[in-house]
């Protein structure tokens, strides 16, 4: 299994792109600003988008992708891109994005009979079959209804993305039952911003330490969703912790490869795979 990191920042700035991962060539996990680094042909090859929650930094590029690929997918007679999400997330997208005011409704364009997008609801605990990829929907604890995902390899090994979440006992109960090879987990704030992390249901390094203590065995952990300009401070705080896990920064352009019992991170660009300690 190959996962391409298109974006993993908590917001935008030069070199910072918001959350999006490409599994293989046809499954997109969230659709932040990082989607814009794909070529038109790469975007047109995407058949499934799984959405963790409705916040703008995770959904912004759904509509832009739909607009970009309309002609290519029509020419190739491809079915609609399936957008998989919680019912509450789909409702938010329909009412607040694809409403004809913020953006055209691509679930009815270029025609109601042959749209570019199709919304498909899921539930926590469901295992989705997306082409040749299986993805389990995991619980998350955020300010809006939210989930994480476990992409399951042929041998049962999992790449796990927590989505945006604060402390989440339900997640760790489920991960204890899975063969987690790679964990991508958010840490949006510094420790001195812990009150803000609590209010917004994100993690800071001290909260992260408590969460990772629930992982039953040493694991490759990649930190995502750090705010622009804060990476050095956040990773320094994480690096001072005593952890059995191999903790790394995450950066746009990385390619994570999970092959049987071997998991590796290939860095592209400066600092793409810098360990926290």
Tell me the DSSP string of 65-78. Answer: HHHHHHHHHHHTTP
Q: What is the end-to-end Cα distance of the chain in Å, rounded?
A: 27
Average pLDDT value for the chain: 93
Domains of the chain, CATH where assigned: 2-266 (3.60.15.10)
268 has pLDDT over 70: no
Walk across the sheet containing 20-23 and list its strands.
117-121, 81-85, 48-50, 27-29, 20-23, 2-7, 255-259, 262-266
Which pLDDT belongs to residue 56?
Answer: 97
Q: Among 148, 85, 73, 135, which residue's Cα sits nearest to residue 98?
A: 85
Angle of the 231-239 helix axis to the 205-212 helix axis, nearest 10: 40
Which pLDDT belongs to residue 77?
Answer: 85
Which pLDDT belongs to residue 71?
Answer: 92
Which pLDDT belongs to residue 273?
Answer: 39
DSSP per-residue letters across 79-147 = PPEEEEE-HHHHHHHHHHTSSSSSS--TTSSS-SSS-SEEEEE--TT-EEEETTEEEEEEE---SSS-E
262 has pLDDT over 70: no
- Summarize pLDDT for 105-145 with one digit per residue, the tens: 999 999 999 999 999 999 999 999 999 999 999 999 999 99
pTM (two decimals) = 0.93
Question: Do the Cβ atoms of 249 and 223 come closer than 8 Å?
Answer: yes
Partners of 82 in beta bridges? 48, 118
259 has pLDDT over 90: no
Distance CA 43, CA 21 (A): 12
Which pLDDT belongs to residue 277?
Answer: 37
Q: Among 246, 187, 245, which residue's Cα sits nearest to residue 216?
A: 245
Question: Do the Cβ atoms of 221 and 245 come closer than 8 Å?
Answer: yes
Which pLDDT belongs to residue 114?
Answer: 92
Q: State percent of the chain over pLDDT 90.
A: 90
Distance CA 86, CA 94 (A): 12
Q: Among 63, 44, 51, which residue's Cα sits nearest to residue 106?
A: 63
Half-sphere exposure of 31 (CA within 13 A, CB side): 25
Question: Do the Cβ atoms of 53 and 38 come closer than 8 Å?
Answer: no
**Residue of higher predicted confidence among 204 and 263:** 204
Among 20-24, 44-48, 60-64, 255-259, the range scoring the smallest mean pLDDT is: 255-259
Which pLDDT belongs to residue 275?
Answer: 41
Q: State percent of the chain over pLDDT 70.
A: 94
């Amino acid at each position: 299994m190959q996962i391409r990191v298109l974006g993993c920042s908590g917001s935008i700035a030069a070199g910072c792109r918001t959350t999006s991962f490409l599994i293989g060539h046809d499954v997109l996990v969230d659709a932040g600003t990082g989607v814009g680094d794909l070529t038109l042909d790469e975007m047109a090859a995407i058949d499934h988008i799984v959405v963790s929650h409705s916040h703008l930094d995770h959904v912004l590029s759904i509509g832009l992708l739909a607009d970009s690929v309309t002609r290519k997918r029509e020419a190739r007679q491809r079915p609609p891109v399936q957008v998989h999400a919680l019912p509450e997330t789909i409702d938010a997208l329909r009412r607040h994005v694809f409403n004809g005011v913020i953006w055209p409704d691509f679930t009815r364009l270029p025609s109601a009979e042959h749209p570019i997008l199709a919304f498909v609801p899921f539930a926590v605990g469901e295992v989705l079959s997306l082409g040749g990829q299986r993805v389990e929907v995991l619980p998350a604890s955020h300010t809006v209804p939210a989930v994480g995902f476990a992409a399951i390899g042929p041998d049962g090994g999992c790449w796990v993305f927590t989505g945006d979440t604060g402390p989440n006992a339900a997640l760790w109960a489920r991960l204890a039952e899975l063969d987690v090879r790679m964990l991508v987990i958010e840490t949006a704030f510094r420790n001195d911003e812990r009150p803000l992390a609590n209010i917004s249901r994100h993690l800071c390094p001290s909260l992260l330490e408590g969460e990772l203590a629930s992982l039953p065995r040493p694991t490759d952990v990649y930190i995502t969703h750090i705010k622009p300009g804060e990476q050095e401070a956040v990773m320094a705080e994480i690096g001072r912790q005593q952890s059995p896990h191999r903790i790394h920064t995450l950066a746009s352009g990385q390619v994570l490869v999970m092959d049987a019992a071997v998991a590796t991170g290939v860095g592209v660009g400066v600092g793409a795979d810098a360990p926290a300690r």
